[in-house]
Amino acid sequence: MSLTSDVKEYARTVGFHLVGIASPEPFTQAEIDITQWLGEGHQGEMGWLNQARTRLATRPAELLPGAKSLIVVGVSYRTVEPDDGPGGRVARYAWGADYHAAMKARLRSLGAYLSEQAGRPVKSRTFVDDGPLVERDAAIRAGLGFRGKNTNLLTAIGSYVLLGALLTDLDLDFDTAVPKDCGSCRLCFDACPTDALDEAYHLAAERCIAYLTIEHRGPIDADLRPKLGEWVFGCDICQEVCPYNASTRGRPHGWSEFEPRLGTRLDLQGVLELDDEGFRQTFRGSPIKRAKRGGLARNAALALGNRADADTRPILEHAATTDPEPLVRDAAGWALARKNSPTN
């Protein structure tokens, strides 16, 4: 076997379901597209998405001097099917433990393997959705899949896939991109409740439920609140309707770290009753902690307002008058008004 084949086999051995090799040449088109997207103001409050970071993220060779290869990996996070009962909906990737640590540990193991096989200390740098690298574009170049109209990477095992990369100074054979697209399908467009997918392959993040429930720190616009439904952390709607996720036959199961820790839905009343320390303890080691207590409680209040049942008024009244954060009191007040509306 060649060194490239050995590397790919080892990556699969440590658990990655997809692996490909890409050139570290600049991602010129990605820089153009992201620059235009930033100019349109779609980054919302994500100030870290700026031109300086974009330039660095699209030039892998500047991230690791002497870089010669970019190993891109993917792992399915599909475990169980979501509960269809009441409760706060959470994006699949956040049902279990934080994926960053799980993936980085395996990527570091892959880096050590490179040095062992090369017989010398191999320089490498790992990326798991928290460093300046356009991982989705790298995955496309490495042949892992293609970009869907919902802007997700669509692969042979679906789009419930987490990406990571190992940039290295080791010479490896490159893979080629997959020449596919979504054709005339527009299911994700029609399903998005906030019209965040305003055109093919383009996301208006400031309207995306995932952005609103995680990254957006202030009050959510009144016209968008009813459209959040019961989503309290992230959103999977554009993936749930995608034909690439329609079947589970032959699809790999996600790692044990991704198994649900608190179920697939959150107790909305329980979320509103958490104080700061309770939030930290409940969501320690979970991606959900990124929303912070105030953000998650805001989302829980809005979700309660979007539910048809009437037995949630007492908890909303309590939150509207006693929660220490104005953000949460505002959301609870809106939810109460919505429940008291003649149309509800």
Q: Which residues are catalytic?
A: 129
Report the alpha-carbon distance of residue 293 to residue 138 in Å, rounded.
34
**Bridge-partner residues for 90, per DSSP?**
233
172 by Cβ neighbours in 10 Å (0-12 / 13-18 / 19+) ranks as buried
Q: Give the CA-trace dihedral at 299, 302, 303, 309, to 10 degrees.
A: 150
188 by Cβ neighbours in 10 Å (0-12 / 13-18 / 19+) ranks as buried
- SS3 category, 167: strand
CA 14-17-23 angle, 5° bins: 95
Report the alpha-carbon distance of residue 141 to residue 134 in Å, rounded.
11
The full length of the chain comes to 344
Q: How many CB atoms lie within 10 A of CB 46?
A: 14
User: Can you list the positions of beta strands (E) in 60-204?
Assistant: 69-76, 88-90, 124-127, 145-147, 153-155, 161-168
Contact call for residues 75 and 254 (beta carbons, < 8 A): yes
Report the alpha-carbon distance of residue 141 to residue 143 in Å, rounded.
5
User: Can you list the positions of beta strands (E) in 37-186?
Assistant: 69-76, 88-90, 124-127, 145-147, 153-155, 161-168
**Bridge-partner residues for 265, per DSSP?**
89
- Here the tokens at position 80 are 């169980």
Q: How many CB atoms lie within 10 A of CB 301?
A: 31
